[in-house]
Amino acid sequence: MAVIQIPDEASGEIPRAYVVLKPSSDPKDITETYLQDWVKERVSPYKRITGGVIFTDLIPKSASGKILRRLLRDQVQQEFESLSRAT
């Protein structure tokens, strides 16, 4: 799992989670709402994943195993740019 900040008009930035499910887990049980509720019970309000949960097959990592959040932020930037061009 990786969490990055995405732009938000109201609060500036909000957290978004990228999740890779284990092969043994049931995708019907692990939903975005389930994860948001689970996190909501355990963290402060500003740390809640209000930016959503993205289920993915792979989270980019460096050769040493560190999560490459820079690549995830680049994906988010492209997503927001394509949305702004569409409107």
Domain of residue 70, CATH code = 3.30.300.30
Q: Using an 8 Å Cβ cutoff, are 16 and 49 in contact?
A: yes
Domain that holds residue 46: 2-86
Q: What is the pLDDT of residue 66?
A: 97
34-53 mean pLDDT:
95
Q: What is the pLDDT of residue 27?
A: 84
Reply yes or no on whether the pLDDT at 62 is more than 90.
yes
Reply yes or no on whether the pLDDT at 87 is more than 70.
no
pLDDT tens, position by position, 7-41: 999 999 999 999 999 999 888 899 999 999 999 99
Average pLDDT score, the chain? 93
Phi, psi at residue 7, to the nearest 5°?
A: -65, 145
Total domains in the chain come to 1
Reply yes or no on whether the pLDDT at 48 is more than 80.
yes
Reply yes or no on whether the pLDDT at 86 is more than 80.
no
